[in-house]
């Protein structure tokens, strides 16, 4: 039976049979038992599927992965121990030393570092483009060794909306997949695969969990990219893997080639798995994602409109505001709302912004975003402090930018807290 998103949030992934627990159990076990040596050998050769070691697969983790996969409309999903691991795996699964890829420059600071600094040390080069450039200028950055294109549906913290359809077409024209980090929108507000995106990533730490109880990530494969059409470019998927007795992923696993390789090679060798306990918590969050997201968006819209009218506020960036640069893109990709995160700047010095934040009552200063509790952060002095002012501006982060993550409390209370803190500035 085909189910709607709301039903998938509650029901997908874990389908108990007679006498089994209704609630997803936590399989807190590293290993799984078999009867014969032969059964175990077939698992290692990928000839049978079954659980044998939690680094490769665990029933709790798999149930939650299946739910996220259903929400995004993919052919397979792998959960990782963090959003950082998810983005690293998504890229590293098809890029190796000597390869190149292209990314929007408006991405999350942690991803910016991963791509620009750490991947560089592994010999993978990355070009940061401004999504506002015209096609010709961006397309000039594709090289023969370019392997993918990357962007965030809604960028953290700038709030820019990524034109998924445009960049999917561009990536495909150059024979590479589009990878989209859909953390802020969540599949409730946008499903990038429906717009031509090939691989979706998440930091499940944010709205998906929604209660700030665990750090996690996910990679979802649409199964739509034709790796064999560019067989030489994606040799890791289309030629025999010596570490699996010469198995070829595209031949053996078809549409699930990419996601299977990600588990059997990267997870096997690098091992960034989430704990089953964390997946259990993530699943509890997912059960109410469809209820929380509309409330985040409704509150954020009201707060953004209030900020925009406030004389102490210099500027507000929220794609739900009519005058916003990304309003039209948001109407296209996020018609039911974007997310709860607003970026704004206060008039006056940086010290004034800090005083404002210190004066808040229940709105907390935390290095987190996108959970049920309203919080603030000053990226230039917190998350993005490793970037220079020039890099900050390139990443769409103005030095005076305050990131306000609007929660699901009573909106009058949120506005009252902001107002009293501004009065004390």
Q: Which residues bind ligand PLP (CB under 6 A)?
A: 82-84, 87, 108, 110-111, 152, 156, 181, 183, 203, 205-206, 215, 217
| Identity of the residue, 81 or 310, whose beta carbon is nearer to ligand PLP in the bound complex | 81
> Closest distance between ligand PLP and the C-beta of residue 157, in Å?
8
Chain centroid offset of residue 116 CA: 18
| Identity of the residue, 60 or 203, whose beta carbon is nearer to ligand PLP in the bound complex | 203
d(CA 217, CA 203): 4
Beta bridge partners of 129: 104
Q: Where are the alpha helices (DSSP H) in 129-263?
A: 135-139, 164-173, 186-189, 235-238, 249-253, 257-261
> Closest distance between ligand PLP and the C-beta of residue 212, in Å?
11
> Closest distance between ligand PLP and the C-beta of residue 187, in Å?
14
> Closest distance between ligand PLP and the C-beta of residue 306, in Å?
24
Residue whose C-beta lies closest to ligand PLP: 83
| Identity of the residue, 260 or 283, whose beta carbon is nearer to ligand PLP in the bound complex | 283
CB atoms within 10 A of CB 209: 24
| Identity of the residue, 93 or 111, whose beta carbon is nearer to ligand PLP in the bound complex | 111
| Identity of the residue, 92 or 108, whose beta carbon is nearer to ligand PLP in the bound complex | 108
d(CA 229, CA 204): 32
Residue with tokens 């490769």: 56
> Closest distance between ligand PLP and the C-beta of residue 282, in Å?
11
| Identity of the residue, 80 or 250, whose beta carbon is nearer to ligand PLP in the bound complex | 80
> Closest distance between ligand PLP and the C-beta of residue 106, in Å?
10
Q: Which residues contact 281 (CB under 8 A, 6 or more apart)?
A: 209, 211, 213, 214
Residue with tokens 């599927």: 49
3-state class of 293 per DSSP?
helix
d(CA 54, CA 84): 20
Per-residue CA distances from 263 to 75, 82, 114, 269 (Å) = 14, 15, 20, 9
| Identity of the residue, 183 or 374, whose beta carbon is nearer to ligand PLP in the bound complex | 183
Beta bridge partners of 258: none
> Closest distance between ligand PLP and the C-beta of residue 240, in Å?
33
């Amino acid at each position: 039976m085909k189910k709607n998103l709301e039903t998938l949030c509650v029901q997908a992934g874990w389908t108990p049979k007679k006498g089994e627990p209704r609630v997803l159990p936590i399989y807190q076990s590293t290993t799984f038992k078999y009867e014969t040596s032969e059964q175990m050998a077939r698992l290692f050769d990928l000839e049978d599927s079954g659980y044998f070691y939690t680094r490769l697969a665990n029933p709790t983790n798999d149930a939650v992965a299946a739910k996220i996969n259903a929400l995004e409309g993919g052919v397979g999903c792998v959960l990782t121990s963090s959003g950082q691991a998810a983005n690293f795996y998504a890229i590293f699964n098809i890029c190796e030393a000597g390869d190149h890829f292209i990314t929007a420059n408006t991405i999350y600071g942690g991803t910016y570092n991963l791509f620009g600094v750490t991947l560089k040390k592994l010999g993978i080069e990355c070009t940061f483009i401004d999504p506002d450039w015209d096609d010709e200028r961006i397309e000039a950055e594709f090289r023969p060794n370019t392997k993918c294109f990357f962007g965030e549906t809604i960028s953290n913290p700038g709030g820019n909306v990524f034109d998924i359809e445009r960049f999917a077409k561009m990536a495909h024209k150059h024979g590479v997949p589009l990878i989209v980090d859909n953390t802020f929108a969540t599949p409730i507000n946008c499903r990038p695969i429906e717009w031509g995106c090939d691989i979706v990533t998440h930091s499940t730490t944010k709205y998906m969990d929604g209660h700030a109880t665990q750090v996690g990530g996910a990679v979802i494969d649409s199964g739509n990219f034709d790796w064999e059409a560019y067989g030489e470019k994606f040799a890791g998927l289309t030629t025999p893997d010596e570490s699996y007795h010469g198995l070829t992923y595209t031949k053996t696993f078809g549409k699930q080639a990419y996601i299977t390789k990600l588990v059997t090679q990267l997870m096997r060798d690098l091992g960034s798995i989430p704990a089953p306990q964390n997946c259990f918590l993530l699943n509890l969050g997912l059960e109410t994602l469809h209820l929380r997201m509309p409330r985040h968006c409704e509150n954020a819209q009201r707060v953004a409109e209030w900020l925009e009218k406030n004389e102490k506020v210099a500027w507000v960036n929220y794609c739900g505001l009519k005058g916003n640069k990304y309003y039209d893109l948001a109407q296209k990709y996020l018609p039911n709302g974007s997310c709860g995160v607003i970026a704004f700047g206060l008039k006056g010095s940086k010290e004034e912004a800090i005083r404002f934040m210190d004066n808040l009552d229940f709105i907390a200063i935390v290095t987190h975003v996108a959970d049920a509790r309203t919080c603030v952060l000053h990226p230039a002095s917190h998350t993005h402090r490793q970037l220079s002012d020039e890099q900050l501006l390139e990443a769409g982060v103005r030095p005076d930018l305050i990131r306000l993550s609007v929660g699901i409390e009573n909106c009058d209370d949120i506005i009252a807290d902001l107002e009293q803190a501004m009065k004390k500035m």
